[in-house]
Structure 1
Amino acid sequence: MSAFISEFDLRTRAREDAPTIAIKDSIDIAGYPTTAACRALADQPAAAEHAEVVQRLLDAGWRINGKTNMHELAFGMTGINDFTGTPRNPQDMSRIPGGSSSGSASAVGFGLADAALGTDTGGSVRGPAACCGVIGFKPTFGRVSRVGVAPKETTLDCVGPFSREMHVLIDVMTAIDPTFDTRAARADASKARVGIVAVQADADILRAVESAVHRAGFASRSVELDAMNDAFVAGLAVINAETWRAFGHLVDTGKLGADLVARLRAASNTSAVDVDAAERVRRMFTASVDRELDDVDVLILPTLPTFPITLEAARAGTSVIAMSSLIRPFNLSGHPALSIPVPVVGTSLKAGLQVVGRKGADEKVCAVAACLTKLNMPKGNYVE
């Protein structure tokens, strides 16, 4: 099913019954090349050392059972990869798995691992999580180590976990973040104050999100976030500039997919003026989110504005950039954001509900998400 690029059993003081975790192929594992699922990097030498997050997982007793597939160079939202194969979507195999951490979401959704690590630069953990019906978390920017993670330089990217259950995700965070307060993440959050963000999304998805909040019994109010669309556009400018700087030299190798070449060439046109304007929006939007979070504990909104499109439609050229309209802004601002699956009336597909918290309050985000999942987590509906 192409969820894994390579499968193995990496143990360091791990028990036979240790929980298993898969690692996105943009994260170093000693002895294995980090290829970012890209032909141009296929001949990379093996990594000499584990990324810091990998070493922490091994030290905590996790068993790594594979490197996961991904959208080439982590620069795409569909998860389609004609070089290493396209991971299947466990909710509906006719639909895209989402990108760029497609293999990580797929592996968790199909039960190939208890958890997985991905990276989230413009929604690349939360988007695939919502597509594949699993949980995905983007921590506060800078909180989890990126040493040994590609690209090296970024103002957006975060390493984050996938799981099927919140208690497993909390276990992963406890392992990869030495400052993570496990007790606070497992605390009762039923009295949390919730702001439901007014956004543009499919009506059935909006109803599913509001129903999930209602079932959990949270006190809630409506919230307007200033400059949400501006933050989406600014996030695109920043990721384009930073991805071109990291990988633009690969365009002339002749070893990139045609779609990626087109996106990179377009990204090369991002000017210093564009980036300066994006940074102004970053400051404005971050302040807007912080203001709203002064009065509520978390913000809640859909993860994706609509259900993932089909593979056929994506290959035919249907644009997917709007998929990231509700997730990319929080990469720009750096706030922690987590996606959980919630049921939608009239379909077996689950939508993503996104929980956004104050910077550094990753534990509160996890606690609220755990409270939501107690009443809303779907079970047993994955494709077999």
Structure 2
Amino acid sequence: MTKMTDGAPQEMSADSGSDQVLCSMSVAQLRHAYVTGGLSPVAVTRAHLNRITRADPAYTTFVTVDADGAMASARQSETRIRTGQEVGALEGIPLSVKDLINVEGLRMTAGSRRPASVSAVDAEAVASWRRAGAVILGTNTLHEYAFGGTSVNEHTGTPRNPWDASRICGGSSGGSAAAVAAGFAVGAMGTETGNSIRRPAAFCGIVGFKPTFGRVSRAGVVPLASSLDHVGVLARSVEDAAMLMDTISTFSGHDLGSRPPRLPGVRVDAGRSSGLTLGIPSSMLVGLDPLIERAFNRAVKHLESAGISVRSVDLPIASVWTAVVSSVTMHAEGAVAHEQLVTGDPEEYGNDVLARLLSGLAISKSEYARAQAMRELIRNEVLSAMSGPTGVDAFIAPAVPDVAPFIQPGAFVPGDAPWHVGHSAFHLQRLPSLLGLPAGSGPVGWTPAGLPLPIQVFGRPWEDSKVLWMLGQSMDVIPSAERRTIASV
């Protein structure tokens, strides 16, 4: 981990007891405390930096910590608040960014062994956070080039799950998810091509939200698969996720996938429960761990008790073809993005990522075209199921089939059961990314060992707020006394 020292040792002194409360506060709580004078951005940022310094060496969630820049931003926020200037929606909120996204002045590795380059400018989404007053703490570890689901990384380090450090965080935004769960950051920015925001969030017991394709600019983000890549957020509540998303939702002329403006903002829509119908894709209930299944069923009953109808929906085309079409698309487009390096300097890659890129080079144009044709059939099937008077408003399903696996390079071994990317987890989360649908995951329970049991919700294009609201309704199944904010690290 690279640390840029602040030049004020007292601001970086470790205190294992004082940071737990400050680092567990939500965006709304911090904003209120700042405005009323109960807390200052400097004190809160210092607490997060202290916590990172003290505990992150055991969890490896950061590649670079920018203490100098973070404290400077916090002081600027404090001045704006104290002098009555106009303040942003994220004024003084400490956040982190996946190390695949440009942050001005910080080195960006993309999780690879290649020499890091220092970013000259912020990615557009990061710039939006800064304009909203956010304090950028640094950059988070990830799966190499975001091309994998574990975040096991021999180059920049493997992030560990804050709820059990012997287990993975999921990938590829694993460090971002772990940093939020550990209380190192209030929220984080991640990317998703297959399930790289929602799966780490699921394993780390936080909220991960992937917006509708085109809502957030990808300018300044290292590409993997152009028709699948999304920028999204990780947070500890749907309310925080909505605030983080709303500030980065904007049209960009620098991203060919960006959609036109004039879209409604992202917020936790105070929707109505009665009259809503959620669909459960029947194929997404296969091979579940009993604890995952029981937690999901409890969440469904909770939603029904709130007046929401829930029914099973068959998606025969999607259930058979999603994993195949997603893999062909991702591998082929990833090979195009990396073709020059993978053919000229293949030893720069780790074995697992190199194997995926080489398989992508072997995909023919006709095979790719057939996959895209099948992708449209899947899209039509899923959107039709959410259309018309008999259509559902959104889908709900378990986010993963099992709890986070133990860390084993090149393998997944969660307890006694075999688990690999061909498992239904691969299918469970890839469908929304394949179709560009808004989707979020979050915890609806905890195992006796303290591991999260997650659920996911995905819905119609541009109904991001409704999806977040339904996810929040699902998460309300956890009694207040049993809800968790950050892990004790």
TM-score (norm 2): 0.73
Give 1:39's match in structure 2, choosing from 109, 113, 122: 113
Distance between the aligned counterparts of 1:22 and 1:173, measured in 2? 14
Q: Measure, in 2, the Cα distance between the counterparts of 1:19 and 1:321.
A: 39
Of residues 264, 271, 286, the one that matches 1:188 is: 271
Structure 1 residue 206 corresponds to structure 2 residue 308: no
For the Cα contact (< 8 Å) 1:77–1:321, is it kept in 2? no
Please list the CA deviations of residues 117-137 of structure 1 after superposition, one character each: whole Å capped at 9, or x if unmatched. 100001000111111111101
- Counterpart position of 1:197: 281
How many Å separate the matches in 2 of 1:118 and 1:369? 19
The answer for the alignment partner of 1:364 in structure 2 is: 466
Distance 2:488 2:294 in 1: 25
**Given that residues 201 and 305 in structure 1 are in contact (C-alpha distance below 8 angstroms), is that contact kept between their aligned partners in structure 2?**
yes
Could you tell which deviates more after superposition, 243-252 or 275-284?
Answer: 243-252
- The structure with the largest alpha-carbon Rg is 2
Q: Structure 1 residues 88, 210: closer, same or farther in 2, change over 3 A?
A: same
| CA spacing shift, 1:201–1:376, aligned 2, 3 Å | farther
Q: Which amino acid aligns with 2:381?
A: S
Letter in 2 for 1:215: H
The residue correspondences of 1:133-148 to structure 2 (distance < 5 A) are: 133-148=205-220
| Stretch of structure 1 that moved more, 187-196 or 11-20 | 11-20
For residues 3-18 of structure 1, the aligned pairs below 5 Å read 3-8=61-66, 9-10=69-70, 11=73, 14-15=77-78, 18=92
1:123·1:328 contact (CA, 8 Å) conserved in 2?
Answer: yes
SS of 2:348's partner is coil
The structure-2 alpha-carbon separation of the partners of 1:271 and 1:93, relative to structure 1 and needing over 3 Å to count, comes to same
Q: Deviations over 1:153-209 (max 9, x none)?
A: 600010000001111111101111146645853313433321122121314323311
The answer on 1:230 being equivalent to 2:321 is yes
**Stretch moving more, 148-157 or 318-327:** 318-327
Q: Which residue of 1 aligns with 2:394?
A: 298
More displaced, 339-348 or 161-170? 339-348
Instruction: Decide whether the 8 Å contact of 1:174 with 1:180 is kept in 2.
Output: no
The residue that corresponds to 1:336 in the other structure is: 438
Please state how far the C-alpha of 1:88 moved relative to its aligned partner. 0.8
Q: Determine helix, strand or coil for the equivalent of 1:368.
A: helix
Structure 1 residues 55, 381: CA separation in 2 closer, same or farther (over 3 Å shift)?
Answer: closer
Q: Which amino acid aligns with 1:306?
A: D
- The residue number in structure 1 matching 2:183 is 111
Instruction: Give 2:147's aligned residue.
Output: 75
- Separation in 2, partners of 1:234, 1:120: 16
Relative to the length of structure 1, the TM-score reads 0.92
Q: Which residue of 2 aligns with 1:269?
A: 362
Tell me, yes or no, if structure 1 residue 2 matches structure 2 residue 40: no
Q: Which residue, out of 36, 39, 51, partners 2:123?
A: 51
Displacement of 1:50 in angstroms is 1.1
Cα distance, 1:346 vs. partner? Answer: 5.0
TM-aligned CA deviation for residue 25 of structure 1: 1.0
Cα distance in 2 for partners of 1:65, 1:115 equals 10
Aligned partners of 2:122, 2:96: CA distance in 1, in Å? 14
Higher relative contact order (CA 8 A, sep 6+): 1
Q: Structure 1 residues 15 and 315 mapped into 2: Cα distance closer, same or farther (>3 Å)?
A: farther
Is the alpha carbon distance of 1:380 and 1:21 closer, same or farther for their aligned partners in structure 2, counting shifts above 3 Å? Answer: closer
Match of 1:92 in 2: 164
Amino acid aligned to 2:181: G
Overall identity of the aligned pairs, in %: 34
Q: CA RMSD in A?
A: 2.3
Q: Which residue is 1:20 aligned to? A: 94
Q: Helix, strand or coil: the match of 1:366?
A: helix
Match of 1:281 in 2: 374
Unaligned runs of 5+ in 2: 1-58, 80-90, 251-261, 414-418
Residues 267-303 of structure 1 show CA distances to partners (whole Å, capped at 9, x for unaligned) of 2212212211211121011111111112121100111
SS in 2 for 1:195: strand
Counterpart residue type for residue 385 of structure 2 = E
Whether the aligned pair in 2 keeps the contact of 1:70 and 1:79 (CA below 8 Å) is: yes
Q: Equivalent of 1:243, from 326, 334, 357?
A: 334
What whole-Å deviation, never above 9, does each CA across 1:360-382 have from its counterpart, x for those lacking one? 11111111112222333831583
